[in-house]
Amino acid sequence: MPSLEMMPRNDDNHNRNKWFLLFCRCVLFQNSQRRSSNNNNSTGNKIMKQKAGNVLWMRDDDNSCDTSSVLTLMGLPVTLRIYILNFLGETQEELRTLTVISKAINKDCKRPGIEWKLIPVFVISPSPAQSEQKLQENSIGRTKRLLQNLGQHQRDVHTNNQFQQYQYMVVNHIDNFNELGHYVEVERMTENIRFEGVKSLNISLLSQTRLRLWDSLPRALSCMVPNLCELDISNTTFNHSILACFIERCPHLEKITGNNMGYSKWRYITTSGEEMKSATNLRELIMDNPIFCSLDAIEMSDLNNHHDIFLFHQCGSKVLERLSIRNAKYAFEEDVTIPQNVLIKFVRNAPSSLRWFRSDLSQENMDMLQLERLNIELVN
């Protein structure tokens, strides 16, 4: 194992010291997962094993340990540890994992010199159920109980001040939150619940579904985050009115991600963009693998007529810069791939602000359109 003096140095921000990064990740991984005794005895390529908090480098030809090469992250000087920790943080999730590995590392993450910033996250999860029967009983009251608890907490000045510090909100398993009742009841219960600091909301599911999802909680959330800038509703089948709720109540919304949006009766997103009429600040729309509802598919495909009817022609944004709709389909008796003419017509009528469009346009059509719209990067 090389000594610290032998490690290469490079100040280039685009090519930071890879050895430090690899070492740090290896140490953190070993401290977060315990290997079984069988793994500790394995041979092959060079591996590490954990013993009393130390990382021992083993030769790749036998099971003996070179104890003279023992090196631990916490055994390094504080300044060097901070230098190493600054190499991590490619994602906020990685940073959050880093802070809970150990108390010592958590303390280091709060020291002066740490360059990255951990964004506070407010996580909402359904209460656990002990049995299927209890799950059914609890599902009815989950949304109402959640809103009651949030309302009670925000009446406390100290807790309410803490709530306003959160910038990122995540809802886990939103498909487990059932209907509360009429939307008027939802708005009444959320009248005084606000998360003014939340800029990003993720209510996506881990996998795609075509099951009906209840609207009460997302409708309530749209009332609670007035300064929202980014929304992720991927893998859901929420009614198009839910998207409209967020857009109307969150005027600062700039990015919407809705990959794998399913279709079911009364649950759809329209090709006209009807639900995005008020999205005047929308700059990025990512909807790969969507199944759209279209009432004007024929008009959208007509390149010679109906010039005011094209994909998302009702979307109110004049500042849209990025749009992705790869593998987009219409919801007919069978899902039908959106024709090339629809994509061509959109590019020709897209707002002048558009700079990037990802779709299933053929290479031939992209070459043709690139001559007409020089400022748009067309990819597939």
What's the domain range around 177?
A: 121-379
Kind and range of the H or E element at 142?
Answer: helix 132-154
Q: For residue 166, what are the CA distances in angstroms to 141, 252, 358?
A: 26, 17, 33
Count structural domains, the chain. Answer: 2
Residues 182 and 82 in one domain: no
Give the span between the Cα atoms of 230 and 252, in whole angstroms. 9
pLDDT in tens, the chain (380 residues): 333 333 333 344 444 445 455 555 555 554 444 444 444 444 433 333 333 333 333 333 344 444 445 567 788 899 988 988 888 777 887 888 888 888 888 899 889 999 888 888 999 998 776 544 555 555 558 898 899 999 999 999 999 999 999 999 999 999 998 888 777 888 899 999 999 999 999 999 999 887 778 889 999 999 999 999 999 999 998 878 899 999 999 999 999 999 998 665 555 788 999 999 999 999 999 999 998 888 899 999 999 999 999 999 999 999 999 999 999 998 776 788 999 999 999 999 999 999 999 999 999 999 999 999 999 999 99
Q: Where are the beta strands (DSSP E) in 153-253?
A: 168-171, 200-202, 230-232
Residues 70 and 215 in one domain: no
Q: Which two tokens stand for residue 190?
A: 């959320």
Using alpha carbons, select from 297, 243, 249 the residue that is nearest to residue 267. 243
Q: Is 186 exposed, middle or buried (0-12, 13-18, 19+ CB in 10 A)?
A: buried
Q: Are strands 329-331 and 377-379 parallel, antiparallel or unpaired?
A: unpaired
Res 38: pLDDT = 43
Domain end call among 109, 136, 152:
109
Query: Does a structural domain hold residue 8?
Result: yes
Residues 168 and 317 in one domain: yes
Q: Is 347 exposed, middle or buried (0-12, 13-18, 19+ CB in 10 A)?
A: buried
Query: Does a structural domain hold residue 192?
Result: yes
Q: 9-47 burial by CB neighbour count: b if 16+ within 10 A, else e?
A: eeeeeeeebeebeebbeebbebbeeeeeeeebeeeeeeb
Q: Is the pTM of this model over 0.85?
A: no
Domain end call among 75, 109, 143:
109
Residues 137 and 57 in one domain: no
